Amino acid sequence: MYHSKIAGLGYYVPENIVTNDDLSKIMDTNDEWIQERTGIQERRHILPGTETTTTMGVKAARVAIERSGVALQDIDFVIFATLSPDYYFPGPGVLVQRDLGLNTIGALDIRNQCSGFVYAVSIADQYIKTGMYKNILVIGSELQSTGLDMTDRGRGVSVIFGDGAGAAVMTREEDVTKGILSTHLHSEGQHAEELYVKAPGMGGRWITDILNENDPDDESYFPYMNGQFVFKNAVSRFAEVINEGLEANNLQVSDINMLIPHQANLRIAQFIQKKFRLEDDQVFNNIQKYGNTTAASIPIALTEAWEQGKIKSGDLVVLAAFGSGFTWGSVIIRW
Ligand code: ACO
């Protein structure tokens, strides 16, 4: 019996910074509104034609692999979480296998939006625990800026999201008091349409009909979000799933050294911090700089926290996510 652990972490964000003031020049918004509601000061958007979800994922993966000490050819599985794949199909997992020149190993794509990285870590953990694979590359990457409605109509959603990628190499941990202690996954599809993009999922329609409609007022290609409903559900589900993970391991809130919440919105993270009475140094946030990068947000935040020396060997690290689906989950790690 063994555990899995995170052996190497990396992230990549495009260089192009888009501030709230930049957005206010193209739509009816302002820095004060955005910061007050979301905590976001700036985000990264690719410059046209420079990156895809896969190319950013590959850059993050190279850093994670280098740091893990695992040789490229010893990676034996790829899991890629995104809501913004380069193609409708195939998913980006196989593109990573190609672009990194990996062996003809398996590649799996995860479509769980903001919870995607937590789902991916959970799957990698099971494969490693059963002995099926030893060194799994887990990526969360999103190119969201090209799919946002950057007009006044889309301002309630488009100011929140940014581009970027994070990656982890997960390997075997022989010491079963360490590594991933447990993972907890949930969904409630009843609320699928509270936060979603209708197209290009066919929804019973032929793609040619969708294209032939060619309607400039068609909002179905843009994300829709019922913001206040998402907020309400997020704060309760985050709390539940963190508690579930702690209870499963006979741990208390006071045992948490570092909570890395999905960077949905700074107000949500602050609500959770207050509810659990955690100190500032027990919660890591970087949404101020990157906005909400969906499946990439946890691996980017985890990497930055680790790079800044905020995660040390023996620490109890908790990852928690909530997002479209609704889906939510947590990962309890003894580092
Ligand atoms: N700039 C200026 N004004 C805006 C903007 C903007 N970017 N967007 C909306 N407004 C206006 C609205 O038009 C509205 O004006 P009105 O009162 O004249 O009609 C007013 O601001 C309030 O709009 P609401 O949508 O009610 O704003 P709310 O206070 O709910 O804040 C927000 C919106 C920030 C989205 C909030 O609902 C929220 O935090 N929801 C959580 C959702 C979230 O964090 N999602 C992240 C992605 S999902 C995930 O990762 C889990």
148 lines ligand 1 (CB under 6 A): no
Of 40, 265, 288, which is best to mutate to test ligand 1, by the most ligand atoms within 8 angstroms of its C-beta?
Answer: 265
Query: What letter would DSSP give residue 52?
Result: -
Q: What is the pLDDT of residue 160?
A: 97
Q: Looking at the structure, give the CATH architecture of the domain made up of residues 3-173.
A: 3-Layer(aba) Sandwich (3.40)
Q: How many helices (H) and strands (E) does the chain have?
A: 11, 13
Region 280-303 average pLDDT: 98
Ligand 1 proximity of 320 Cβ (cutoff 6 Å): no
Q: So what's the ipTM on this one?
A: 0.93
Question: What is the distance in A from the centroid of ligand 1 to the CA of 37?
Answer: 7
What is the percentage of the chain residues whose pLDDT exceeds 90? 88
The kind and range of the H/E element at 20 are helix 20-24
Degrees to nearest 5, angle at CA 175 with 102 and 247? 105
227 lines ligand 1 (CB under 6 A): yes
What pLDDT score was predicted for residue 206?
A: 61
Do 3-173 and 179-334 come out as alike in CATH topology? yes
Whole-angstrom CA distances from 283 to 104, 209, 231, 276, 319 are 39, 47, 19, 11, 10
Question: Band of the pLDDT at 211, cuts 50, 70, 90?
Answer: low
Q: What is the DSSP string of 3-18?
A: EEEEEEEEEE--S-EE
Q: pLDDT tens digits, residue range 29-73? A: 999 999 999 999 999 999 988 999 999 999 999 999 999 999 999
CATH topology of domain 179-334: Peroxisomal Thiolase; Chain A, domain 1 (3.40.47)
DSSP 42: E
**pTM score, two decimals?**
0.95
Q: Where are the domains of the chain?
A: 3-173, 179-334
Residue 312 Cα to chain centre, angstroms: 22
> Would you call 243 exposed, middle or buried from its count of C-beta atoms within 10 A (0-12, 13-18, 19+)?
middle
